[in-house]
Structure 1
Amino acid sequence: MASAVKDSRSGYGPLLRTPGAWTFLLPGFLARQPFAMLTIGIVLLVESTTGSYGTAGAVSATTGVSMALFAPQSGKLADRFGQRAVLVPGVLVHAAGVAALIALALAHAPLWALFAVAVPTGASTPQVGPMVRARWAARLGGSPLMPTAAAFESVTDEFTFVVGPVLATALCTGVHPAAGLVAEAVLTLAGGLLFAAQRRSQPAVHRARAGERARVSALSVPGVRVLIVAFLGIGSVFGGMQVSLTAFTQHIGQPGINGVLYGIFAGGNMLAGIACGVVSWKVGPRRRLLVAYGLLALATTPLWAVTALPLLGAVGLVVGLCIAPALITGYTLVESLVPAAARTEAFTWLTGAVALGQAAAATSAGQLADGFGPSTGFLVPLAGTALALTVLLALRAHLLPSASAASADGPGYGVDDLVPAGSEDRERELARA
């Protein structure tokens, strides 16, 4: 779809007035709600039938890892055959997988059976968030509204992860242990099919013609590989904070305050995301990412040493405020680094990297908390972001758009983004970025 919107303004008003935006925003919002309900729903159901949080966590982690590993393949297929062609069979398989998982858990099936069903259930989780981002990129092209769209999607994702777990928990504890997963399957099926029906707004399918070179994978773009490392570090913050806050509040005998502390952390993320969407940036996205990521790594430094709840809440707020700018800018860079034919795949790689980093961090933080005390789990976000920042600084040259990407994409790239190497304009662009 070559409908780049040439709008010199930024902000949510111009963004939401983009022609056709609401046709995919509302169905997309409904379809992505189950994304945050799946893992918590599995934990609550399996724990109620086995009495073991360890077993429940293992089944949930299997689903999460499967989702992270298969999501990029889903994105690649969506780029090649269209989002509808991937979504319709995907939501059907996912709903069937959830139904089988519920039946096996309630029948007290052996653990291997739960693992066997958890793999396709996670693999078929619809990647609606990346698909919405790909629709924004196709509709906006090189418009200044792209950072605003990335901010809007970040806030929507964060809102989903606030509402989804609360809804799933309320259903599982107040109605039936399986009610959360039942709702997840119903919302996935209804929302996914409704979103897939919005065919006008989906990006154009890019099929290679006879004689053309093989399709380029998003993973072959060096900048995408660098961003994957950055998003693994962001995932380490989410996973490390979740487990460490739980362990810390249980250790001090106030487990009920865990939700408040994590809510403060998530609230900071949402506030920063909203703010990012209304700023007219004069600094290039590469420099914004490096600065934001440096601040994020710095913000995680004192977490392990904090022992007072009010101070921990304050530091958690600062960490949350630093996540959104890094996350949003990373997604924004995809529009200039990756040809349109591979953007959905690129977005799913980044989303999968967050999920994989979160799962690895949750496991590592839990082991540290069990072996060395609850506060040591907070070292995981620090280590994850510090390592990712080192990679970003070392490979920052890969975060500039290349002429090959522009030639493959056409009008989505502005003249300010691409200038000949060695020219004075190129030197000014490098300094700005």
Structure 2
Amino acid sequence: MHTTIADTRRTRAPSLIREAGLGYFPIALVARLPFAMMVVGILTLVVSARGSLALAGVTSAMTGLGTALIGPLLGAAADRFGQRRVLLVSGTVNSLMLLAIAWLAFATVPDAALLVVAFLIGASMPQVSPLSRSRLVGIIGRTYPADRRTTTVNGTMAYESAADEIVFVFGPVIVGLLATTLSPAAPVIGAAVLALVFVSAFALHPTASAPAASSASPASQAPARELFRARVIAPVAGALGMGLFFGSMLTSLTAFMAERGIPEQAGLVYGAMGLGSAALALGVALFPARFTLTARWLTFAAVLVGGTLALPFVDSVGAIAVCLLVIGVGIGPTLVSQYSLAAAFSPKGRSATVMTMLGSAVVVGQSAASAVTGLVAESSGAAAALIAPAVAASVVLAAGIANAIASRR
């Protein structure tokens, strides 16, 4: 029988790399860096320019508030109008606001001006990570047979979580290098350039040209009330807990290292946790199907809690490094489980909205925990601040329990 090239293309097994294009993945990875650099970069900039840790903490918190209030709306707009237009507008506005705060921080303007611009930075923050997840899940739904979709989505969420871990580990490191070698404004300016170039490239990539899930027929989009179902809210609450953990862990670790006279090494110790987490996140794809997403969340959240409970009792850099290695085992699989469950239970036509809700929850938790943990460390010392990660881990576990109850119902 004569076989044409078109027949071969139709019959060969689908590949996500082939469908998305090999260039998609490095673009999507680098486009996340501004997201990981903004909060720490703004904190460093304001401390250096204004000499006030309190003002710097509030300014960073305003960035998180802007993301919390507007981020999910950007996801809803992407669901309704398509990702390309939303990303191009938000990326451009975000770059301009970052350049504005780099100038205003050293200008003779009231502190309130910094807070307003910080809010606008958070509000316009390009939601690359959740929109990438939504984009890839859409490709899987269109090109993969039904019997392979669940496994492929789980593997994709594993990769996406590992990518997030990598940028959230190296983002603060890049901020530190730019701030110490160039100027305190360099990280923010660098984030503005990255946002303008790589977020635009992400927006213009061919994978963004697919019509929005609901653009053709608004009636096909599930009503907004479906976003408030327990199976959707539980992963969002879990992502908030992960954000609380990231913010409290980095801040309390910095305080711990500062008490030992080596605060500049905090990023290196923190990085060990992130690399271990990223490696295990990728390994999630090898877990058997009978080890369900709900069970994975509960199992690895328990590991996370166990690791954090030991933190207040450590008294050496080596001991805290061991704790962080244990904690890293729990982070990656927990994040993968949360995003996979969110993808599975996203209401029809609301995938980008749900993914953006999770991404915004992480940023909000990180910003809030950084500010609160910093105050605790300043007033009561690092030992007290190291209790905060255990509280955050407990939130993650509680959300996992709530998800398990909802799944049984």
TM-score with structure 2 setting the length:
0.88
Q: Is the 8 A contact 2:39 2:63 kept in 1?
A: yes
Aligned to 1:191: 198
What CA distance in whole angstroms lies between the structure 2 residues aligned with 1:15 and 1:399? 31
What CA distance in whole angstroms lies between the structure 2 residues aligned with 1:235 and 1:218? 24
Q: 1:98-137 residue pairs with structure 2 within 5 A?
A: 98-137=98-137
Residue 338 of structure 1 aligns to a residue whose secondary structure is: coil
Distance 1:247 1:91, change over 3 A: same
Aligned to 2:172: 165
Q: 2:278 aligns with which of 242, 267, 270?
A: 270
What CA distance in whole angstroms lies between the structure 2 residues aligned with 1:110 and 1:221? 43
Aligned to 2:351: 343
Give the percent of matched residue pairs that are identical in Structure 1 and Structure 2: 32
Moved more, 88-97 or 367-376: 367-376
Shift, 1:254, TM fit: 3.1
| Alignment deviations for residues 26-55 of structure 1 (CA, whole Å, 9 cap, x no partner) | 321232121112122222322222122322
Q: 1:17-416 residue pairs with structure 2 within 5 A?
A: 17-141=17-141, 142-201=149-208, 204-205=211-212, 206-207=214-215, 209=217, 215-216=223-224, 219-399=227-407
More helix by share: 2
Residue 60 of structure 2 aligns to a residue whose secondary structure is: helix
What CA distance in whole angstroms lies between the structure 1 residues aligned with 2:178 and 2:300? 38
Q: Is the 8 A contact 1:101 1:117 kept in 2?
A: yes
Please report the RMSD computed on the Cα atoms of aligned residues, expressed in angstroms: 2.6
Structure 1 runs (4+) deviating above 4 angstroms are 5-8, 208-214
| Alignment deviations for residues 269-312 of structure 1 (CA, whole Å, 9 cap, x no partner) | 12212322344443221222122222222221111111222111
Distance 1:78 1:364, change over 3 A: same
Shift, 1:322, TM fit: 0.6
Give the partner amino acid of 1:271.
A
Moved more, 54-63 or 180-189: 54-63
Distance 1:364 1:386, change over 3 A: same
- In structure 2, stretches of 5+ residues that fail to align are 1-9, 142-148
| Alignment deviations for residues 190-210 of structure 1 (CA, whole Å, 9 cap, x no partner) | 112111112445554214747
What CA distance in whole angstroms lies between the structure 1 residues aligned with 2:152 and 2:132? 15
Residue 307 of structure 2 aligns to a residue whose secondary structure is: helix
State the number of aligned residues: 392
What CA distance in whole angstroms lies between the structure 2 residues aligned with 1:211 and 1:192? 30
Give the partner amino acid of 2:342.
V
What CA distance in whole angstroms lies between the structure 1 residues aligned with 2:17 and 2:269? 36
Q: Is the 8 A contact 1:361 1:381 kept in 2?
A: no
Distance 1:260 1:100, change over 3 A: closer
Distance 1:133 1:355, change over 3 A: same
Give the partner amino acid of 2:137.
A
What CA distance in whole angstroms lies between the structure 2 residues aligned with 1:160 and 1:188? 14
What CA distance in whole angstroms lies between the structure 1 residues aligned with 2:231 and 2:209? 25
What CA distance in whole angstroms lies between the structure 2 residues aligned with 1:272 and 1:349? 24
| Alignment deviations for residues 78-107 of structure 1 (CA, whole Å, 9 cap, x no partner) | 011100121111112112211221221232
Shift, 1:321, TM fit: 1.4
Q: Is the 8 A contact 1:333 1:399 kept in 2?
A: no
TM-score with structure 1 setting the length:
0.83
| Alignment deviations for residues 349-384 of structure 1 (CA, whole Å, 9 cap, x no partner) | 111111222222223322332333311212112122
What CA distance in whole angstroms lies between the structure 2 residues aligned with 1:391 and 1:128? 25
Q: Is the 8 A contact 1:20 1:201 kept in 2?
A: no
Distance 1:28 1:221, change over 3 A: same
Give the partner amino acid of 2:88.
V
What CA distance in whole angstroms lies between the structure 1 residues aligned with 2:239 and 2:218? 36
Give the partner amino acid of 2:299.
V
Distance 1:212 1:143, change over 3 A: closer
Shift, 1:326, TM fit: 0.5
Q: Is the 8 A contact 1:368 1:376 kept in 2?
A: yes
Moved more, 346-355 or 37-46: 37-46
Moved more, 77-86 or 244-253: 244-253
What CA distance in whole angstroms lies between the structure 1 residues aligned with 2:15 and 2:30? 19
Residue 79 of structure 2 aligns to a residue whose secondary structure is: helix
Residue 105 of structure 2 aligns to a residue whose secondary structure is: helix
Distance 1:260 1:210, change over 3 A: closer
Q: Is the 8 A contact 2:166 2:275 kept in 1?
A: no
What CA distance in whole angstroms lies between the structure 2 residues aligned with 1:281 and 1:314? 30
What CA distance in whole angstroms lies between the structure 2 residues aligned with 1:298 and 1:264? 18
What CA distance in whole angstroms lies between the structure 2 residues aligned with 1:18 and 1:334? 25
